[in-house]
């Protein structure tokens, strides 16, 4: 029997399982809907799907680097609780996934899900198996792979995997030459969370928006129109020093900027260094946390 898109849609709605999982079991059961549901349950996929509506905002971020530091990857995998994020099996799963993102050229999470996971089926199948075994919803949220010619990558992980940073340094120096400085700059990004590397990388739309806000603030303060423009230019310059990485005061030595620290290292090793890339992942950032209604939760328990 031919499996139609409508059948896949129906099975997905009834079980909450992934689209490809639904399609595969329908093919396997020759389109028998009830047998397909039963098969999904046997595989643990329907069980996993029941948990998929729960918000997973905890988890880990993990880095991976090639031996020569010319390639780097960062991935975020979420769980519902911090307890599971510290589970040894979960930690190993995230580490393996970070290595996979480095070794492969998957363009997005969907493509990553289709890759083979250590002979245990696809990544999607391995993830569903972990969900069924551990008993919490988990999701692979995002990843980035960096591989720019002439760039050396250095990273830093903070808080046991809560924040991970990669900085890319354009240089002819080896990773050994820049490892300490690179890690310090990555720590700066972790702690200060700059929006941009330098003024040249500032989004023009962001700049225009900030300028308009500062102009309105100055006018609201009753400043004369003829001096507002000069005031705003000064305030904008000050703000950029706080939001641009290399303009920030270096956290380990407030007497110098990050740019000066990088330049000092460049002079010491005798090779030019320029910070050209910056990626910062923080677990759960931007994920809407579930707000449980206590009365509803009690009623739910009573009715079960």
Q: Which of 254, 252, 228 is nearest to 241 (CA)?
A: 254
Q: What is the distance between the alpha carbons of residues 93 and 91, in angstroms, rounded to a whole number?
A: 5
> How is residue 95 written in tokens?
């580490």
Other C-beta atoms closer than 10 Å to the C-beta of 162 total 18
> How does DSSP classify residue 59?
E
Question: Structural domain tally of the chain?
Answer: 2
Do 136 and 59 share a structural domain? yes
Q: Does 238 fall in a domain?
A: no
- Return the pLDDT at 267: 97
From the list 83, 279, 76, the residue with the least C-alpha distance to 161 is 76
Beta bridge partners, 157, equal 164
Instruction: Report pLDDT for 50.
Output: 54
List the domain range (segments joined by +) for residue 22: 5-50
Answer yes or no: is 13 within a domain.
yes
Residues 6+ apart with CB under 8 A from 296: none
Which of 90, 117, 147 lies at the terminal end of a domain, its last residue? 147
Clarify whether residues 20 and 70 are in a common domain: no
Measured CA angle at 58 (ends 57, 61), to 5 deg: 110
Q: Is residue 72 part of a domain?
A: yes
Residues 119 and 106 in one domain: yes
Count of all residues that appear for the chain in the document: 304
Domain-located, residue 213: no
Give the CATH number for residue 41. 1.10.8.10
- Residue at 208 is within a domain: no
DSSP code of 31? T
Q: Consecutive 10-residue runs of the chain (304 residues): their mean pLDDT?
A: 85 76 90 86 64 73 97 96 91 97 96 94 92 88 97 96 97 96 98 93 85 84 82 83 92 96 97 97 78 46 46
Q: Is 22 inside any structural domain?
A: yes
Angle between helices 19-28 and 33-43 (to 10 degrees): 120
Q: pTM score > 0.85 for this model?
A: no
Helix (H), strand (E) counts: the chain: 13, 8
CA distance 249 to 27: 60
CATH of the domain at 90: 3.30.479.20
Q: Give the three-state DSSP class for 69.
A: coil
Model pLDDT, residue 39: 84
118 within a domain of the structure (yes/no): yes
Q: How much is the pLDDT for 52?
A: 54
């Amino acid at each position: 029997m031919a499996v139609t898109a409508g059948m896949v849609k129906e099975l997905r709605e009834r079980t909450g399982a992934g689209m490809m999982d639904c399609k595969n079991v329908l093919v396997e059961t020759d389109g028998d809907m009830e047998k397909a549901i039963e098969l999904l349950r046997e595989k643990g996929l329907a069980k996993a799907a029941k948990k998929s509506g729960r918000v997973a905002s905890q988890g880990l971020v993990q880095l991976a680097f090639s031996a020569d530091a010319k390639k780097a990857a960062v991935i975020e995998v979420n769980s519902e609780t911090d307890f599971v994020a510290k589970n040894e099996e979960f930690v190993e799963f995230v580490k393996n996934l970070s290595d996979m993102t480095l070794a492969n050229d998957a363009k997005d999470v969907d493509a990553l899900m289709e890759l083979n996971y250590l002979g245990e089926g696809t990544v999607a199948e391995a993830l569903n198996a972990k969900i069924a075994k551990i008993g919490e919803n988990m999701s692979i949220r995002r990843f980035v792979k960096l591989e720019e010619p002439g760039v050396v990558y250095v990273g830093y992980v903070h808080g046991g995997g809560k924040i991970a940073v990669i900085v890319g340094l354009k240089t002819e120096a080896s990773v050994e030459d820049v490892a300490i400085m690179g890690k310090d700059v990555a720590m700066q990004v972790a702690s200060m969370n700059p929006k941009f590397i330098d003024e040249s990388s500032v989004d023009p739309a962001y700049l225009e928006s900030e300028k308009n806000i500062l102009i309105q603030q100055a006018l609201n303060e009753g400043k004369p129109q003829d001096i507002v423009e000069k005031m705003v230019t000064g305030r904008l310059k000050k703000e950029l020093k706080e939001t641009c990485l290399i303009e920030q005061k270096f956290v380990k030595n407030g007497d110098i900027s990050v740019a000066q620290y990088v330049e000092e290292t460049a002079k010491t090793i005798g090779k030019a260094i320029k910070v050209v890339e910056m990626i910062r992942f923080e677990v759960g950032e931007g994920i809407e946390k579930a707000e449980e209604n206590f009365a509803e939760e009690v009623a739910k328990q009573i009715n079960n």
